[in-house]
Structure formats: structure tokens, C-alpha cells
Amino acid sequence: MSRIQRDAGILVLVAILLGVAAYFAFPLSNTNLGLDLQGGLSVILEAQESAKAPRSDDGMTQAVKIIQNRVNKLGVAEPEIQRQGEWKISIQLPGIDNPDEALAIIGKTAVLEFYDVKQFGTAYTTKAEALAAAGVDSAEALPADKSVVHWTVSGGSSTDQWFLVTTPPVVTGSMLTGAQTGFDQFNNPKVDMQFNDEGSTAFSEVTGKMAETAQITGEDQRLAIVLDGNVESAPRVQEQIDGGRAEITGKFTTEEAKNLALVLQTGALPVDLKAVSQSAIGATLGKAALNQALIAGAVGLLLIIIFMIAYYRLLGVVASVALVIYGVLFLGLLNGIGVTMTLPSIAGMILTFGMAVDANVLIFARMRDEVAAGKTVGAATSAGFKKAFRAVFDCNMTTILTAIILFWAASGAIRGFALTLGIGVALSMFTAVLVTRSMLSLLSGWKPFRNSRLLGLHVPKAKIVPADEGGRS
């Protein structure tokens, strides 16, 4: 196969790739935008180690599922929930208006427990006292069979009380089959719950016993409904409750009741999750950031093209064409594999424009050397590519290496930067070397491409003494 055929083949291949890439790349609105560009909530939750809720791999997998469930019920479009590392879960919710509420729902452990208030025992005025009674100094150190319950007893001035509970709850949230919002007789929002068989039996047994005690002693018997260690409500039990239903009434707004029903439906998180990093970005700010990045990118690209053409003339034109081809291929590739573009990944992309022409600068400088040494343009072209390749390759390899290291080390959006930088530099090596060479070799038959002056290959100023071959064009 002749060289012309080979180069033409390469260009045909590039044209096909370009078509495919353009299909994926355009319109630009197809691109997946990260939260920093469209607004939304991004949270990283980390499982906390505690004796009560030991961290486990299964627990994490389950937690991801539960959170997915909750997010789906919230109705967020295109959420992203991923396990990150061993004990972290990363959650990305685009277009959330109320990040605080979303966070409260997603991260809520939602452990629901029913206690007979008699189980509570002594009331302490601070949490620390309750913990001290158990012989520990932090909630994490509490043994699995003990728990601290907080109760804001309303009545006159509200008072906070803490209790150390050493007996297991009579019914738990794991015995629920459903939860919905409803309204009580005063039209206040409430949450209705249904129990499974086990729950129904336990519930009816406990309420039966409590109703009996109430009748005998004449004292109020109260059943405390505890969510995540806080008493939500503590209704009086007057009679045995059969049928496996219960309700939580209290001081909710409709919204709060809905959210509570939602977390109860999806079940309790098996691990205790805490937000270690979160960011909520307003949609307007995101849009502004995107525009700024696009303008910066376009201006940067334009400046590079002007520089290349001013300095290398026709060669600069070829390099610019290769650069644009690179841009389209790159966008197509990113969209094709479904990379989400964030601000840092756009920064990475803009940088690769500059790095892509590096290869061309090195190659063209080599070609100048060769022309200066008396070679014809054609010979200089092939020698220039051949000799510059080693340096181009080594340069790009160091950048790819650091991009890989950065990708490994970074988290979140910076990873996007490393990804676009690494892929971009690798891809740009292909366009800047192979595509430019094929174009130049096919164009070499055309007269302007044999003129070293037009090509920008002449050495400025008459510094060069022509060597033996005098008759070059």
C-alpha cells in the first residue's frame, strides 16, 4: 500500500469517526451536565462506626438501596447514588429546590421503635447524664442493648428529658408493612402505619396489657413512639388495639408528615450515616458558571488558532483543523461514554486544547530544523514527524501518568478534571500526530504546500547558510 493510500485511508477513517462523534456530540445540549453547572444537591454520607449500628458491607449495600428508594419517592429526575470507597455513599440530586429537606429525608436513619413509657425509668436533664448512667461517654460507645431516648415533654414550658432504656422496644419499624399520611379528627396531619403479622400480634399484646394496667391502677399508660431516639408522640393507651394499625400524631406540618411516611415506607437505614461533605448549588449560579466556562473555552481555542496560524501559517491552518477535529472527537467520546461534564472537567478540556497543539509545535519546529538543514519540504515533513515523536510521546506520557494519579487520589468533581485531561491528552496525540501527518502528506502535492515560506517553515532572518543542496523550492 502506497503512502498516499495509507494517508487517505487514515483520513477516511477519521472522517467516519468524526461523523460518529458529531452524532454524539451535537447538539451540545445532549451533554450530561454536573450539578455545579445545572444546580442541585451533592452529598457524601459516611457510615459512622458505633456499637449499636456496626458498619458492614451488607449494611452499606442495603443503605444504598434504601436511599435510592427514598430518592425515587422524592421524585428527583436522574439522581445518582453510588457507593464510594468502603464507608461512603455519594448522592447527586440535580435540580433540587430545597436541599435541606432532601438531605433530612435521605440521611435519616429512621429507626422507629415503640416503647411502653414505663420502660424509660429515670429521667435525666442532659444527654451526658443519661450516657454516664450507662457508664459510657458517647452515644457511639453505647452497647447494643441500651439506648438513649430524648423526649421534649410539652406542657407549659417544654422541657427536655433524656432516658436510658435498657429493655428492647415492644414493636419496631421493621415490623411495618406500610405508612401513609392522613388527617386526624382535628384535621391535623398524621402518619398511619400498618404492621405485619408479627407486629400486629406484638402490638395488640402490648396495648392489651397496658389497657389492663390502666384499668387496674387508674393511671395513664402511654406508648412512646420513638424515631431515631426522639419521642415523636406518646399517646395514652385505653384499650387493646387489634388489626395491626397505629398512627403517629403530633406537631407535624403536612410536608413533615409526608416525609416521615416516606422514610418509614422505605425502612430504616442499617448504618448510621452522617453527611461529611455537601454542596447545594443554585441553578442560576450553575448556568452562569457554564456560560463562563464555554466563553473561556471558545476564546482559548480561538487564541490558539490565531497563534498557530500567525506563527506557522499553512502548517498552523492544518494544526488548527486537527485541533477542531480533536475537539469534536473528544466531545463525541465523552458524550458517547456518558461522562458527566463538571466545571473541572471543562477546565481539563480547555487545557487539552493547549496541550494538543504542543505536539504540533514540536513537530513543526523539527520540520523547520530540517528545512534549515537544507532538506526539501517533503523530506523535512517526514523527518520532522519521525524525530519529534519521541519527545511528543514522552511529554504526553508524563501528563497521562499524573492524570491517572490524580484520578485515583481525587474525589468528586476533580476526578472529572483528571478524566478529561487524561483522555484528552491521549486522544490529542492521535489527532495532532497522525491526522496532521496524513493531511500534510496528502496536501504535499498541492503547490502552496511545497513553499516553505507559506508553510511557515522558512527560518526567519537570513541566519542560515544554505548547505550543499542549493536548489530547494
Partner 1 sequence: MRMFHFMRYKWWFLASLSAVTLFAIISIFVVRLDLGIDFRGGVRMEVALEQTATVDEVRSTVRELGVQEPVVQSVTGPSGTSSFLITAEEMSDEQAKAIVAQLDSRYQVKEGATSTETVGGSFSRETTNRAFIAIAIAVVAIIGYLSLRFEFKFAIPAIFALIHDVGLTLGIYAASNRLVTASTVAAILTILGYSVHDTIVVFDRMRENTPLMKKETYAEMVDLSISQTMVRSINTSVALLLPLVAILIFGGPTLKDFAFALTIGTITGTYSSFFVAAPMAVLWKEREPRYRKRLLAAAAGGGVVDDEAMAAYETVPAAKAQAFSGKSAVKPKGGGGGPTAARVSPKPKKGKTSKRPAGKDSKRTSR
Nearer to partner 1, 116 or 272 (CB): 272
Helix (H, G, I), strand (E, B) or coil at 247: strand
φ/ψ of residue 34, rounded to 5: -75, 170
Nearer to partner 1, 134 or 365 (CB): 365
Among 13, 15, 28, 288, which residue sits at the site for partner 1 (rule: CB under 8 A)? 288
Among 22, 411, 445, 448, which residue sits at the site for partner 1 (rule: CB under 8 A)? 411
Does residue 402 belong to the site contacting partner 1 (CB under 8 A)? yes
Does residue 91 belong to the site contacting partner 1 (CB under 8 A)? no
Among 168, 398, 445, 469, which residue sits at the site for partner 1 (rule: CB under 8 A)? 398
- Select the span of 25-33, 176-184, 247-255, 413-421 touching partner 1 (CB under 8 A): 413-421
Does residue 465 belong to the site contacting partner 1 (CB under 8 A)? yes
Could you tell me which residues are beta bridge partners of residue 91?
Answer: 43, 81
Helix (H, G, I), strand (E, B) or coil at 93: strand
Grid coordinates of 367: 520540520
Does residue 299 belong to the site contacting partner 1 (CB under 8 A)? yes
Nearer to partner 1, 447 or 463 (CB): 463
Q: Which of residues 220-239 bind partner 1 (CB under 8 A)?
A: none
Does residue 408 belong to the site contacting partner 1 (CB under 8 A)? yes
CB 63 within 8 A of CB 309: no
- The minimum distance between CB 458 and partner 1, in angstroms, equals 14
Question: Using CA atoms, how far apart are residues 178 and 207, in angstroms rounded to an integer?
Answer: 20
- Select the span of 72-80, 144-152, 207-215, 383-391 touching partner 1 (CB under 8 A): 383-391
- Select the span of 75-83, 185-193, 205-213, 353-361 touching partner 1 (CB under 8 A): 353-361
* The 3-state secondary structure of 147-178, one letter per residue: EEEEEEECCCCCEEEEEEECCCCCEEHHHEEE
Among 116, 232, 272, 358, which residue sits at the site for partner 1 (rule: CB under 8 A)? 358
Please count the other Cβ atoms lying within 10 Å of the Cβ belonging to residue 417: 22
CA atoms within 13 A on the CB side of 259: 17
Nearer to partner 1, 20 or 351 (CB): 351
Does residue 275 belong to the site contacting partner 1 (CB under 8 A)? yes
Among 173, 327, 344, 424, which residue sits at the site for partner 1 (rule: CB under 8 A)? 344
Residue the block writes with cell 458492614:
56
Does residue 414 belong to the site contacting partner 1 (CB under 8 A)? yes
Size of the site for partner 1 (CB under 8 A): 83
CB 261 within 8 A of CB 181: yes
Among 122, 159, 254, 292, which residue sits at the site for partner 1 (rule: CB under 8 A)? 292
Among 59, 235, 297, 378, which residue sits at the site for partner 1 (rule: CB under 8 A)? 297
Radius of gyration of the chain (CA): 34
Question: Using CA atoms, how far apart are residues 79 and 207, in angstroms rounded to an integer?
Answer: 42
Does residue 289 belong to the site contacting partner 1 (CB under 8 A)? yes
Burial readout 348-358 (b: 16 or more C-beta within 10 A, e: otherwise):
bbbbbbebbbb
Question: Using CA atoms, how far apart are residues 90 and 92, in angstroms rounded to an integer?
Answer: 7
Alpha helices, H only, 167-230: 197-217
Does residue 272 belong to the site contacting partner 1 (CB under 8 A)? no
Question: Using CA atoms, how far apart are residues 419 and 406, in angstroms rounded to an integer?
Answer: 9
Among 301, 426, 427, 442, which residue sits at the site for partner 1 (rule: CB under 8 A)? 301
With a CB cutoff of 8 Å and minimum separation 6, the contacts of 278 are 41, 42, 43, 44, 99, 103
Alpha helices, H only, 267-376: 283-336, 343-372
Among 197, 311, 448, 469, which residue sits at the site for partner 1 (rule: CB under 8 A)? 311
CA atoms within 13 A on the CB side of 308: 30
Does residue 365 belong to the site contacting partner 1 (CB under 8 A)? yes
Does residue 283 belong to the site contacting partner 1 (CB under 8 A)? yes
Nearer to partner 1, 408 or 446 (CB): 408
Question: Using CA atoms, how far apart are residues 22 and 336, in angstroms rounded to an integer?
Answer: 10
Q: Which of residues 174-213 bind partner 1 (CB under 8 A)?
A: none
Does residue 355 belong to the site contacting partner 1 (CB under 8 A)? yes
- Select the span of 38-46, 137-145, 163-171, 329-337 touching partner 1 (CB under 8 A): 38-46
- Select the span of 110-118, 138-146, 205-213, 397-405 touching partner 1 (CB under 8 A): 397-405
- The minimum distance between CB 452 and partner 1, in angstroms, equals 15
φ/ψ of residue 388, rounded to 5: -80, -20
